[in-house]
């Protein structure tokens, strides 16, 4: 797309209509009481258990299935949407809490996660350019990509990206351990394995920072946002479950021969 079209009024009108339909569907599909729990911790319990995708990859994933998993557009987007948690006019404490997770220690040379992910993709023989595989994404994965953007671009939903942030970081460490073992078993390459082992270590620390500093800190400042935080966690989990069901259905119908 021509970059000059980004703020074209006609295009913005179409995007706004699509986003309204998408948000309405998210709210319609939410289980009764979503966003009304007594604490944002409650919906995290199920998420920590993870979907069956990482278990499948660890136990029997082929190299081609690992490539398909790495090429999902939501992975290629990496941590971009979480930068939107850093809001204009946000207090200094809020900014420092988010930056502690997003930058440190990953901002040290060679440890930025986007760089590590590019190395993983190269190890797997995939194209490393941003968004290269977006046209190959299933509806379920594109919904996750759009969820990140929807939450991040609207100030009225500012609690939701914090919920998404929490869901990603708190589940990352246990969910990364299994793909790391799968990469090693499939001999995918040292960079492919390292990306996930790095997340096992780093995100175990991030979990506590996000849970107690980022989300709890946000709610201490704006307690009325708790329902939105819960909605962000809930929507992330539901769309992750749909994507997992689609991937597992595809993979279990494929030939079991490892390539």
Q: What is the pLDDT of residues 120-176, one digit of tens each?
A: 999 999 988 877 888 877 899 899 889 988 988 888 888 888 888 888 888 877 788
Which of 64 and 199 is assigned the larger pLDDT? 64
pLDDT reported for residue 64: 94
Residue 147 covered by a domain = yes
Tokens of 4: 């000059």
Q: What is the CATH number of the domain that holds 242?
A: 1.20.910.10
Residue 137 covered by a domain = yes
Residue 22 covered by a domain = no
CA distance 208 to 161: 17
Tokens of 45: 């319990």
Residue 94 pLDDT greater than 60, yes or no: no
- pLDDT more than 90, % of the chain: 28
Residue 46 covered by a domain = no
Tokens of 100: 């502690």
Name the least confident of 1-10, 63-72, 147-156, 181-190: 1-10
DSSP annotation of 252 reads H
How many domains does the chain fold into?
1
CA distance 118 to 128: 6
Residue 45 pLDDT greater than 80, yes or no: no
Q: Is 5 in contact with 14 (CB distance < 8 Å)?
A: no
Cα dihedral 149, 150, 155, 156 in deg (nearest 10): -160
Residue 141 covered by a domain = yes
Residue 109 pLDDT greater than 80, yes or no: no
User: In the 3-class helix/strand/coil scheme, how is 193-238 assigned residue by residue?
Assistant: HHHHHHHHHHHHHHHHHHHHHHHHHHHHHCHHHHHHHHHHHHHHHH
What's the pTM value of the predicted model, to 2 decimals? 0.82
pLDDT reported for residue 47: 63
Residue 256 pLDDT greater than 80, yes or no: no
184: Cβ contacts below 8 Å, ≥ 6 apart: 193
pLDDT digits (tens, 9 = 90+) for 171-215: 877 788 899 999 999 999 999 999 888 878 766 666 777 777 778
Rounded (to 5) percent helix, strand, coil in the chain: 75, 0, 25
Q: Please count the other Cβ atoms lying within 10 Å of the Cβ belonging to residue 115.
A: 14
Q: Is 214 in contact with 166 (CB distance < 8 Å)?
A: yes
Name the least confident of 40-44, 54-58, 87-91, 242-246: 87-91
Reference 137, options 56, 250, 53; nearest CA is: 250
Tokens of 254: 């494929």
pLDDT reported for residue 116: 82
CA distance 234 to 229: 9
Tokens of 213: 């500093």
Tokens of 192: 């492919």
pLDDT reported for residue 132: 83
pLDDT reported for residue 26: 93
Which of 131 and 35 is assigned the larger pLDDT? 131
Residue 121 covered by a domain = yes
Name the least confident of 12-21, 60-69, 107-116, 219-228: 107-116
Q: Please count the other Cβ atoms lying within 10 Å of the Cβ belonging to residue 203.
A: 22
DSSP annotation of 31 reads P
Residue 198 covered by a domain = yes
Reference 148, options 242, 53, 82; nearest CA is: 82
CA distance 114 to 100: 16
Residue ranges making up the domain that contains 185: 59-250
pLDDT reported for residue 104: 47
Alpha-carbon torsion (217, 223, 224, 227), positive or negative: positive
Residue 31 covered by a domain = no
pLDDT reported for residue 88: 47
């Amino acid at each position: 797309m021509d970059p000059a079209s980004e703020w074209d009024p006609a295009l913005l009108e179409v995007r706004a209509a699509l986003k309204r339909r998408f948000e309405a569907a998210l709210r319609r599909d939410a289980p009764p009481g979503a966003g009304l729990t007594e604490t944002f911790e409650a919906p995290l319990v199920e998420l920590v258990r993870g979907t069956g995708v990482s278990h499948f990859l660890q136990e029997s994933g082929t190299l081609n299935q690992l490539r398909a998993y790495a090429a999902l557009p939501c992975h290629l987007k990496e941590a971009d949407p979480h930068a939107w948690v850093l809001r204009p006019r946000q207090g200094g404490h809020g900014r420092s809490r988010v930056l502690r997770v997003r930058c440190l220690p990953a901002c040290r040379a060679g440890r930025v996660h986007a760089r590590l992910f590019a190395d993983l993709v190269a190890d797997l023989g995939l194209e490393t350019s941003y968004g290269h595989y977006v046209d190959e994404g299933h509806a379920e994965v594109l919904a996750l990509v759009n969820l990140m953007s929807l939450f991040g671009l609207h100030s009225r939903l500012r609690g939701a990206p914090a919920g998404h942030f929490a869901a990603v970081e708190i589940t990352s460490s246990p969910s990364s351990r299994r793909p790391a073992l799968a990469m090693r078993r499939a001999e995918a390459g040292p960079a492919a394995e390292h990306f996930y082992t790095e997340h096992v270590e780093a995100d175990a620390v991030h979990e506590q920072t996000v849970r107690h500093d980022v989300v709890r800190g946000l709610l201490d400042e704006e307690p009325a946002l708790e329902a939105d935080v819960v909605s962000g966690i809930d929507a992330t989990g539901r769309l992750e479950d749909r994507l997992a069901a689609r991937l597992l259905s595809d993979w279990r119908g494929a030939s079991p021969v490892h390539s």
